[in-house]
Amino acid sequence: MKFNTKTIHGGQKPEPITGAVMPPVFMTSTYAHTAPGEPQEFEYSRGGNPTRTALENSFAAIENGTHGFAFSSGMAAIDCVLRTLSPGDEIIAGDDLYGGTHRMFTKLFQKYGLEFIFVDVSKEVRVAAAITKRTKLVWLETPTNPLMKIADIEVICTAVKEVNPAILIAVDNTFATPYLQQPLTLGADIVMHSATKYLGGHSDIVMGALMVKDAKLAKELHFIQFAAGAIAGPMDSFLALRGIKTLHIRMQRHCENGRAVAAFLKNHSKVEAVFYPGLEDHPSHGIAKKQMKDFGGMVSFRLKDASEEATFKFLKGTKLFTLAESLGGVESLVNHPVTMSHASIPEAARLKIGITASLIRLSVGIEDIADLLTDLENALHT
């Protein structure tokens, strides 16, 4: 199937008893056994639920994987990956990460003996150069949050596997979505999504996803999911599956509007810099063009007036861009990384990579572009 068809039909089939085209919401915790020690397909909903299974099959299909896993949040999905490691193992990760990921790495798993090495993943040679005998995982975001850096997934995977084929490579594909890029096809072992964002698409669920191709790795991840229990519930699974069915048409508008917003900001007299891989002067525009179908709906920028007063005036001046956490919904959102999504990262670490107080991140929705540009223009002149 082509991707646009996979979002609707991938991994799906009518419910076998009633023929329901959409999988019912199975609100049950347990299932009858035919005899002692003889469960049917489902035994207990922590291990599997028909609604969640339908979603997980869809997850696998849209990322060209063989196995998908639905978690109670994106952080729970990341937690599952890290639980495959042991004390003393090293993880190479991008220096520009979602704040919650950085917090989990440095304030939680470091206490359990994992070591994290942060590098600029847009410079591929730095990833390979950081590998040691203890390296077990490479964690990539691309585009990164919030500076929109691009990692060349295929080049990094090839370089890492040449050093040590056993090193796992995981890609947080939340910003791009499988509509724009498919890391498993480019050589990655694990794809992670905060399905709260574009996969759900309507800001009404919190969910995480993992997708893999390797059966042995899938078995390990499923055991951790079952044993630790951070599963997605049936109602959220139903909503996420409904969201995926329109992912392709939503992403077309997100990309269209994202390009227009980036161009508008780039040419605005009050804007100092725009971070968007679709701009030709973006340092990794060529890589983005090679591995992505389009450039997405996430745009970050800095105001020329770097004062807190000017930044906060803009943040409070938008009407259609709602000041809120998260991203990827049909509605446009504006985020201030320093006080919101990346507030948990120490100031020195933020400043080192360029997350300044005047940095603003936009999640460009699917509203009429003329209205969005008017909203930004009005806020810039507040």
Cis peptide leading into 39, omega within 30 of 0? no
pLDDT digits (tens, 9 = 90+) for 58-77: 999 999 999 999 999 999 99
Our answer to whether residue 31 is catalytic in this structure is no
Cβ-contact 187, 153 below 8 angstroms: yes
From 314, 301, 286, 307, select the one nearest 380 (Cα to Cα). Answer: 314
CA distance 156 to 280: 22
Provide the whole-model pTM.
0.96
Domain 3-242 and domain 248-381 have a common topology: no
The pLDDT of residue 115 is: 98
Integer-rounded Cα Rg, in Å, for the chain is: 21
Structure tokens at 53: 């299974």
- Listed by start position, the domains of the chain span 3-242, 248-381
Q: Which of 197, 213, 250, 259 is catalytic?
A: 197
Assigned CATH topology for domain 3-242: Aspartate Aminotransferase; domain 2 (3.40.640)
For the chain, which ranges sit under pLDDT 50?
none
CA distance 16 to 23: 10
The pLDDT of residue 204 is: 98
CA distance 32 to 374: 58
Cβ-contact 318, 373 below 8 angstroms: no
Give whole-number Cα distances, 224 to 97, 166, 360, 361, in Å: 24, 20, 37, 34
pLDDT digits (tens, 9 = 90+) for 245-288: 999 999 999 999 999 999 999 999 999 999 999 999 999 999 99
The pLDDT of residue 382 is: 75
Q: Which of 31, 46, 214, 293 is catalytic?
A: 46
What mean pLDDT value characterizes the chain? 97
Q: Which of 95, 96, 172, 294 is catalytic?
A: 172
pLDDT digits (tens, 9 = 90+) for 127-163: 999 999 999 999 999 999 999 999 999 999 999 999 9
Structure tokens at 296: 């997405």
Structure tokens at 105: 């790495």
Assigned CATH topology for domain 248-381: Aspartate Aminotransferase, domain 1 (3.90.1150)
Our answer to whether residue 198 is catalytic in this structure is no
Cβ-contact 300, 325 below 8 angstroms: no
The pLDDT of residue 369 is: 98
Per DSSP, the three-state class of 307 is: coil
Structure tokens at 331: 């509605």
CA distance 324 to 303: 19
Cβ-contact 187, 154 below 8 angstroms: yes
Per DSSP, the three-state class of 172 is: strand
Q: Cα dihedral sign for 213, 216, 222, 228?
A: negative
Which stretches within the chain are classed as H helix?
A: 3-9, 50-62, 74-82, 99-107, 124-129, 153-163, 177-180, 215-228, 234-244, 247-266, 285-291, 308-317, 347-353, 369-380
Q: Which of 79, 95, 96, 98 is catalytic?
A: 98
H-run or E-run covering 68: strand 67-71
Our answer to whether residue 172 is catalytic in this structure is yes
CA distance 227 to 225: 6
CA distance 335 to 146: 10
Our answer to whether residue 2 is catalytic in this structure is no
